Chain A
Amino acid sequence: MSQTRDQYAAEVVASIPLCQEHWKLVLHLQHFPTTAPGQFVQVACRDLELNYSQEQDLDWADDQPVQIDHAELSQRLAFLRRPFSLAGRRDSAGGVEIDLIHRVVGMGTDWLSRLKPGQKVQLIGPLGNRHTLPGQKSSDEAVAILVGGGVGIPPMIYLASQLAGRKAVAFCGAVTRNLLPLTITNAAVAPTATSIEPLYNIEEFATFGIPAVISTDDGSYGYQGFVTQALERYLDRYFMDEPARGRAIIYTCGPEVMMKRVAQIAEARRIECQVAVERAMACGMGTCQSCVIRVKKADPAAAPMPGSDWCYRLACTDGPVFLSTDLLW
């Protein structure tokens, strides 16, 4: 699937603050291989052209601070690349635009947030496997239920764009309204703190005909509570019987504690749940073997690790998308 992965130089089209700490980076590429929801890119969060700097002699002078101008020491530079899921993609005659939504949590994302239109960003991609869409999976009546939390929301937006015309609903949660990287449309009806009725009030989903339920932990917008609570109430209202549950597929990305709860909720109702996991990774290409996650083995006698009923899989090349029922986490 990722056979065509390569290193690409992208140009910044826009870097837009979405809310507190969250930014949308729109990148233009002349060419980029086919991508699908779930896939990600490894972004160099530093100027790779910033080249070698020789170890410097230090001039010590009385009453003067030492001048350190070695790039690695005088500024905080992200050394490794950072993985970002695709939040959107638009193809045109002029090339490809991709959206990355990131939260500024460290020096890499801080560097990204300071990018200006026209600057170059090096990325490697597309990487990882992909979500299985409902249409590829079951009947036309399938319902996709997207559950995103915080900075796990971006891949749900890209997924939504691929679900236009299908039955789908999005659940998105954040700690508070200011940490919700979504566009609330003023024209739409505002949700109440107890309502779990999906509304067409979030532009990123409404654009693709998908209604959404928003939750905030503090009730500053939408359902007051965790997104998993809203999801559970929704499923218990609309997906009560086996046939309805059989038609549903839950897609989730967000904090691990949230995804684990989503997986529990799905498994208790025997609803398929596709989880996009996040792991610390260096290469993103299956080389460094850092981003492991434990999965169940269908056949303990089979490789890898014959005799063991679990094995490690790599979030980068075996994932990031796994079936919740395969994960041991």
Chain B
Amino acid sequence: MDLSRLGAFVTKSITLEERPGNEPTRIVETRAGMLNAIGLANVGLQRFLKEKVPLLQKMPCPVIVNVAGHSVDDYTSASAAMDSLECVAGVELNVSCPNVKDGLVFGTDPKRLRSLVTEVKRVVPTKPLIVKLSPNVDDITATARAAVDGGADILSLVNTFTAMAVDINTRKPRLANVTGGLSGPAIKPIALHLVSRVYRSVAQSAEVPIIGMGGIQYWQDAVEFILAGASAVAVGTALFVDPATPNKIVDGLNQYLIEQKVDDLADLVGTLRLP
């Protein structure tokens, strides 16, 4: 796969301390989607610097590192380390993991989110700071605005939807964590709506670009997100079905631009024709 054609590669979440993750079972396939409760399993900052950075240095596309934490200090320590790495093009804050205790605390409370973003932006002066928003809130425009007010350079949305699945024979939840995050095509229409909402209510006027995600599998999905206001799109779950998905989307977008007689994809961002 030709990674050089992609806008960026986003890592899974890195935390200050190494984390083993949740007990299995960690994933369940659902209708047109996937439920996961991995629990931020990762090698931690120190091993990330030693073991993963050399791999990232060889990536033929920009690398965005996703950072998660339990406290403001966790986030700032890990983010500051990322800011100093030449191979890192941007830092994305995971304030919306539904699968760890306290994972949603920052992502659902606009005040705490704003102060977290302010603190992190202070230690990430040289790279774009992306804040990944949770859909598990009453009003996503409130957290979007908080992130922007705190200094987010880019918003990415949405993370997974808290959900569950039950084994009717054992009468137990299918995930050891009981609940997990739902992703895949099943969530696409909801994610699209949230991107559209955040774009019109917050991002457009603030001139903060959106990275849209949530169930994107085909280039047509990507176009929908772009029309709704996303400047870029990200693909996650669909990679497990077809690792060539991002390149197929790039091909499809190029073809679409030709057919639509549009020179630059940026000219399509937010051009949804509302009634």
Where the two chains meet, the residues of A that have a C-beta atom closer than 8 Å to any C-beta of B are: 7, 44, 48, 51-52, 54-55, 72-73, 76-81, 122, 124, 279-283, 287-293, 303-306, 308, 311-312
Q: Tell yes or no: B189 within 8 A of A by CB.
A: yes
The residue in A76, A80, A283, A291 that gathers the most chain B C-beta atoms within 10 A of its C-beta is: A80
- Can you report 6 A-B residue pairs in the complex whose CB atoms are below 8 A from each other? A52-B219, A55-B189, A79-B31, A289-B26, A289-B41, A304-B20
Tell me whether B33 and A280 are in contact (CB under 8 A). no
Question: Which of B90-98, B239-247, B266-274 participates in binding chain A?
Answer: B239-247
Q: Tell yes or no: B25 within 8 A of A by CB.
A: yes
Where the two chains meet, the residues of B that have a C-beta atom closer than 8 Å to any C-beta of A are: 12, 18, 20-21, 24-34, 36, 38, 41, 43, 47, 184-185, 189, 217-221, 237, 239-244
Cross-chain pair count, CB within 8 angstroms: 91
Enumerate the 10 nearest inter-chain pairs by beta-carbon distance, A residue then B residue, closest first. Answer: A52-B218, A290-B27, A72-B32, A282-B240, A290-B26, A289-B41, A52-B220, A283-B240, A289-B38, A80-B29
Which chain A positions have C-beta within 8 A of B12? 287, 289
Please report the C-alpha to C-alpha distance between residue A73 and residue B184 in the assembled complex, in whole angstroms.
Answer: 14
The residue in A76, A279, A281, A289 that gathers the most chain B C-beta atoms within 10 A of its C-beta is: A289
Please report the C-alpha to C-alpha distance between residue A72 and residue B12 in the assembled complex, in whole angstroms.
Answer: 28
**Which of B24, B33, B38, B41 lies in contact with A79, CB distance below 8 A?**
B33
Tell me whether A304 and B184 are in contact (CB under 8 A). no
Tell me whether B43 and A304 are in contact (CB under 8 A). yes
CB closest chain-B residue, reference A48: B242
Beyond the given A287-B12, A304-B18, could you list 6 further A-B residue pairs with CB under 8 A, ordered by the A residue number? A52-B217, A52-B219, A80-B240, A279-B24, A280-B25, A282-B27
**Which of B36, B221, B243 lies in contact with A52, CB distance below 8 A?**
B221
What's the nearest-Cβ distance from chain A to residue B184, in Å? Answer: 6
What's the nearest-Cβ distance from chain A to residue B17, in Å? Answer: 10
A290/B36 contact (C-beta < 8 A), A52-B221, A280-B27, A312-B21 known: yes
What's the nearest-Cβ distance from chain A to residue B235, in Å? Answer: 13
The residue in A51, A52, A72, A292 that gathers the most chain B C-beta atoms within 10 A of its C-beta is: A292
Tell me whether A283 and B29 are in contact (CB under 8 A). no
Which chain B positions have C-beta within 8 A of A289? 12, 21, 26, 38, 41
A7/B244 contact (C-beta < 8 A), A290-B24, A312-B41 known: yes
Tell me whether A72 and B38 are in contact (CB under 8 A). no
Tell me whether B241 and A80 are in contact (CB under 8 A). yes
A80/B185 contact (C-beta < 8 A), A288-B27, A288-B240 known: no
Please report the C-alpha to C-alpha distance between residue A282 and residue B29 in the assembled complex, in whole angstroms.
Answer: 9
Which chain B positions have C-beta within 8 A of A306? 18
Tell me whether B43 and A292 are in contact (CB under 8 A). no
Tell me whether B28 and A7 are in contact (CB under 8 A). no
What's the nearest-Cβ distance from chain B to residue A281, in Å? Answer: 8
Tell me whether B38 and A312 are in contact (CB under 8 A). no
Please report the C-alpha to C-alpha distance between residue A293 and residue B25 in the assembled complex, in whole angstroms.
Answer: 10
Tell me whether B43 and A79 are in contact (CB under 8 A). no
Which chain B positions have C-beta within 8 A of A72? 31-32, 185
